[in-house]
Amino acid sequence: MHRLYLAVVILVLIVAGCSSIGNVRKDNAEDQYETARSLYERGKYFHAAEAFRLMIFNYSGVSYIDSVQYFLGMCYFNDNDYILAVSEFRRLVRNFPTSPLADDGQLMICKCFYLAAPENTGLDQTETNTALTEIKNFIEDFPQSPLIGEAKELLTECRGRITKKLFESGQQYYRMGMYTSARVYFEEIVAEYESPQWRGCALYLLAEIDAKQGKYADAELKLNNFLQAFSGHKWEKKARSKLEKIQTETDHSSVASDTI
| CATH topology (fold) of 177-254 | 1.25.40
User: How far apart are alpha carbons 219 and 7 in whole angstroms?
Assistant: 98
Helices (H) and strands (E) in the chain, counts: 11, 0
Instruction: Note the pLDDT tens digit of each residue in 33-68.
Output: 999 999 999 999 999 999 999 999 999 999 999 999
Instruction: Give the lowest-confidence range in 27-36, 40-49, 123-132, 216-225.
Output: 27-36
pLDDT at 75 over 90: yes
Greater pLDDT, 19 or 151: 151
pLDDT at 120 over 60: yes
Terminus-to-terminus CA distance in the chain, angstroms?
131
> DSSP alpha helices (H): ranges in the chain?
2-41, 45-58, 65-78, 82-95, 102-116, 126-141, 148-175, 179-192, 196-212, 216-229, 236-259
Instruction: Note the pLDDT tens digit of each residue in 77-102.
Output: 999 999 999 999 999 999 999 999 99
| CATH topology (fold) of 44-162 | 1.25.40
User: How far apart are alpha carbons 66 and 60 in whole angstroms?
Assistant: 9
Instruction: Note the pLDDT tens digit of each residue in 148-198.
Output: 999 999 999 999 999 999 999 999 999 999 999 999 999 999 999 988 899
The answer to whether 44-162 and 177-254 have equal CATH topology is yes
Question: Would you kindly state where each structural domain of the chain is located, as residue ranges?
Answer: 44-162, 177-254
Packing angle, helices 126-141 and 102-116, rounded to 10: 160
pLDDT at 18: 42
27 pLDDT tier (thresholds 50, 70, 90): low
pLDDT at 108: 99
User: How far apart are alpha carbons 214 and 19 in whole angstroms?
Assistant: 88
Query: What secondary structure, in 3-state letters, does 27-54 show?
Result: HHHHHHHHHHHHHHHCCCHHHHHHHHHH
25 pLDDT tier (thresholds 50, 70, 90): very low
Sign of CA dihedral 246, 252, 255, 256: negative
- Buried residues in 157-177 as b, exposed as e (16+ CB within 10 A): ebbbbbbbbbbebbbebbeee
pLDDT at 195: 87
